[in-house]
């Protein structure tokens, strides 16, 4: 079996949610990881910048790995194969698209946080602070 590439496995693992030959256990683990990633309820709150994301960076990949490990070998082999000519491989050529989408989502989230937490205008009413 060829060496598994994360850039080849992640999109295929997400597509596996819609395949009928993938075991339900694998689908449940993957959905749990996605739900935990977008859920506002975390072990460490995300409002603590940096520290709040540590649990997401540990739990989500762990659930993805467990989902991948629970797949039958025939499905795993189809997901993890990398062709030697990676320049012509659509999975590796799309890695930049995934990276750009991730960066755009992060920028939108940061702008949203900035708009939601905007400046406190109470200092305009009483500039002396007293």
Give the tens place of pLDDT for each residue, 92-104: 567 777 777 888 8
Give the tens place of pLDDT for each residue, 44-61: 777 766 777 788 888 888
- Domain regions of the chain by residue span: 11-38
pTM beyond cutoff 0.75: no
CB of 33 within 8 A of CB of 59? yes
Give the list of residues 6+ apart from residue 104 with CB closer than 8 angstroms, or none: none
DSSP state of 17: G
CB of 68 within 8 A of CB of 9? yes
């Amino acid at each position: 079996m060829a060496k598994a590439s994360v850039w080849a496995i992640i999109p295929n693992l997400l597509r596996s949610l819609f395949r009928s030959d993938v075991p339900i256990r694998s689908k449940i683990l993957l959905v749990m990881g996605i739900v935990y990633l977008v859920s506002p309820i975390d072990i460490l709150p995300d409002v603590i910048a940096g520290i709040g994301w540590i649990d997401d960076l540990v739990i989500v990949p762990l659930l993805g790995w467990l989902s991948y490990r629970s797949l039958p070998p025939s499905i795993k082999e189809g997901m993890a194969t990398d062709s030697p000519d990676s320049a012509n491989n659509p999975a590796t050529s799309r890695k930049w698209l995934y990276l750009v989408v991730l960066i755009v989502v992060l920028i939108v989230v940061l702008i949203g946080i900035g708009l939601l937490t905007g400046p406190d205008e109470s200092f305009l009413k009483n500039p002396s602070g007293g």
